[in-house]
Amino acid sequence: MASSTLICETQPWKDLKSHVEDIKKTHLRELLSDTDRCKSMVVDFDGITLDYSRQRATPGTMDNLYNLAEAAHLKEKIDRMFNGEHINSTENRSVLHVALRAPRDAVMQSDGKNVVPDVWNVLDKIKDFSERVRNGSWVGATGKALTDVISVGIGGSFLGPLFVHTALQTDPEASKCATGRQLRFLANVDPIDVARNIAGLKPETTLVVVVSKTFTTAETMLNARTLRAWISKELGPSAVAKHMVAVSTNLMLVEKFGIDPNNAFAFWDWVGGRYSVCSAVGVLPLSLQYGFTVVDKFLKGASSIDQHFYSAPFEKNLPVLLGMLSVWNVSFFGYPARAILPYSQALEKFAPHIQQVSMESNGKGVSIDGKPLPFETGEIDFGEPGTNGQHSFYQLIHQGRVIPCDFIGVVKSQQPVYLEGEVVNNHDELMSNFFAQPDALAYGKTPEELQKENVLQHLIPHKTFSGNRPSLSLLLSSLDAYKIGQLLAIYEHRVAVQGFIWGINSFDQWGVELGKSLATQVRKQLHASRVKGEPVEGFNFSTTTMLTKYLKESSEVPANPPTILPRI
Ligand SMILES: O=P(O)(O)OC[C@H]1O[C@H](O)[C@H](O)[C@@H](O)[C@@H]1O
């Protein structure tokens, strides 16, 4: 479906450009007074309700957006993804993370091969391995059970698993399954992160899972070597076989590193790093912590959204609606950011994960055919759980810049608290804010209203809220493993929808390469200066000055040190 026509050259795009000028004249207060309009903007699917009536949009806007989706060949692009075509054209790969959570009997093809049996082979292997570790039949070098796991990985090999782990931690079923166990994540190459990860752990009861799609990522490999040294120092090098396993697409490099290939869990190049949480990347550490049964529910939740995304008409299709509305906000209103605001502490790592999924996928400057784009793609994603964010950055969202917000609420708390004599229970208190904030943003407060409240004249400008600030609300019936899977898949597909409409490749990430190669040059220089005393050369004035200062002020760093590990 690759067409060299840019989406901004199509008639629906031009129609939306003129339509937005009309919408700009209408305040959300007016739009919200139209009950029929509001009714048409609520969609339910499998325990999730989306209310997008606080978007600056009318049913007419939606019709224009459906036309835009048609001009972008959105349905064909979704089909091509599910059919395993090489839609990641710059890497010549399929994009099949949906196969990672497909039912055992499903058929999904990549390069003429049904990949679902391969997926289930690995899932079965994870189930078996995690059960053996959890029930103590796989033990460490000294015969002790491995109760603690450190998952070493960065980017897509870290953020998704961390989000799911954090979300499951307080789920009653999952937390029961995790009794007596710990799961930690080592991502940053900063040695402080190593120190924090190993603090309080003993090598003899720790299993290290090295997670890297490529098995070449500098940070992960150095951290893996560091933990290998931590284990070997205490238990001897032969202990590594019992205490280190790997998740990768590059099994040759896993073996070269010294990990037994029998203890490696594969995935495939048709899984993008940031879309890999449903592969062994997430499933292995999460199964070690919570057991495979819980993780299987998470996969089933994601799968439920996959089927919905594939088959539901656009007017009822959650990821499609969300994606189209984001395009509307970014490309037609010019809003540069999007706030992800879950009213659940369990979702505290959701925004950081979606930050990678969205910004690495859609922050592109050219079309999928390589044409420079005359419009911006992607948005700045950020967020914090409510109510914490309210006491931090909401001021800017209410009276400063306009930032479309996603409010995510949960009907039943994972951990309800009731206090005798309180007006409401603790979860209702949280949810009072979830319901209030979107209206505060939409309606605002006028000077006339303030006058009626006898607010001092000179304070009226400061206390005025312009309102007309868009948001959407997602209400989940609960927050168990299944729902967490659904939420993940909704956002993954939403990001894809945006990319499909903008006509970009959401599945490559060339923009991360330049910094990496420049770091290689700096690494060489640091080595040459520390070991051979060579002066800093080949950099611009600024970098030379800073590097020289850094080396001078850390001259006590030994040139050829023995292994020294953090002591904390
Ligand atoms: O899993 P790995 O191969 O170690 O890659 C880890 C991460 O590093 C890269 O720089 C990419 O930007 C990410 O998309 C990727 O998830």
- pLDDT (tens digit per residue) in 212-260: 999 999 999 999 999 999 999 999 999 999 999 999 999 999 999 999 9
Give catalytic status of residue 532 as yes or no. no
The predicted model gives 303-330 an average pLDDT of 98
What pLDDT, in 10s, does the model give residues 433-446? 999 999 999 999 99
Q: Which residue has the CA at smallest separation from atom 7 of ligand 1?
A: 155
State percent of the chain over pLDDT 70. 99
State percent of the chain over pLDDT 90. 99
Q: Check if the beta carbon of residue 27 is closer than 8 Å to that of residue 58.
A: no
DSSP 477: S
| 2 has a pLDDT exceeding 50 | no
User: 90 in the Ramachandran plot: left (φ > 0), alpha (ψ -120 to 50) or beta?
Assistant: alpha
Give me ligand 1 centre to Cα 158, in Å.
9
d(CA 20, CA 331): 10
Q: Which two tokens stand for residue 515?
A: 């910094």
ipTM of this complex: 0.98
d(CA 398, CA 70): 35
Counting ligand 1 atoms within 8 A of each CB, the residue from 93, 157, 361 with the most, and so the one to mutate, is: 157
| 136 has a pLDDT exceeding 70 | yes
H helix intervals, 317-378: 318-327, 350-362
What pLDDT, in 10s, does the model give residues 345-363? 999 999 999 999 999 999 9
Q: Check if the beta carbon of residue 393 is closer than 8 Å to that of residue 340.
A: no
Which of 17, 233, 316, 391 is an active site residue?
Answer: 391
Which of 85, 204, 219, 360 is an active site residue?
Answer: 360
Q: Which residue has the CA at smallest separation from atom 8 of ligand 1?
A: 155
Output phi, psi for 206, to 5 deg: -115, 135
pLDDT of residue 399: 98
Which of 17, 144, 233, 516 is an active site residue?
Answer: 516
| 279 has a pLDDT exceeding 80 | yes
Domains and CATH numbers, the chain: 28-87+312-508 (3.40.50.10490), 109-297 (3.40.50.10490)
Peptide bond into 387 cis (omega under 30): yes
What pLDDT, in 10s, does the model give residues 27-60? 999 999 999 999 999 999 999 999 999 999 999 9
Atom of ligand 1 nearest to the CA of 211: 1
Query: What is the amino acid identity at position 480?
Result: D
Give catalytic status of residue 360 as yes or no. yes
Counting ligand 1 atoms within 8 A of each CB, the residue from 154, 210, 355 with the most, and so the one to mutate, is: 154
Q: Which residue has the CA at smallest separation from atom 16 of ligand 1?
A: 156
Q: Check if the beta carbon of residue 154 is closer than 8 Å to that of residue 352.
A: no
d(CA 499, CA 507): 9
Instruction: Ligand 1: list residues with CB < 6 Å.
Output: 154-157, 212-214, 217, 220, 273-274, 360, 509, 512
Give me ligand 1 centre to Cα 322, in Å.
26
Q: Which two tokens stand for residue 26?
A: 């209408």
| 1 has a pLDDT exceeding 80 | no
Across the chain, mean pLDDT equals 97
pTM confidence score: 0.97
H helix intervals, 453-532: 460-463, 481-502, 513-532
Give catalytic status of residue 371 as yes or no. no
Q: Which two tokens stand for residue 61?
A: 């806007």
pLDDT class of 3 with cuts at 50, 70, 90: low
Atom of ligand 1 nearest to the CA of 272: 14
Name the residue among 96, 497, 364 with its Cα closest to residue 87.
Answer: 96
Q: Which residue has the CA at smallest separation from atom 10 of ligand 1?
A: 512
Counting ligand 1 atoms within 8 A of each CB, the residue from 213, 277, 508 with the most, and so the one to mutate, is: 213
Atom of ligand 1 nearest to the CA of 509: 12
d(CA 301, CA 297): 6
Distances (CA, A) of 199 to 184, 193, 206, 289, 565: 11, 10, 12, 19, 11
d(CA 204, CA 239): 9
Q: Check if the beta carbon of residue 66 is closer than 8 Å to that of residue 12.
A: no
Give me ligand 1 centre to Cα 154, in Å.
6
d(CA 244, CA 209): 6
| 62 has a pLDDT exceeding 60 | yes
Give me ligand 1 centre to Cα 347, in Å.
23
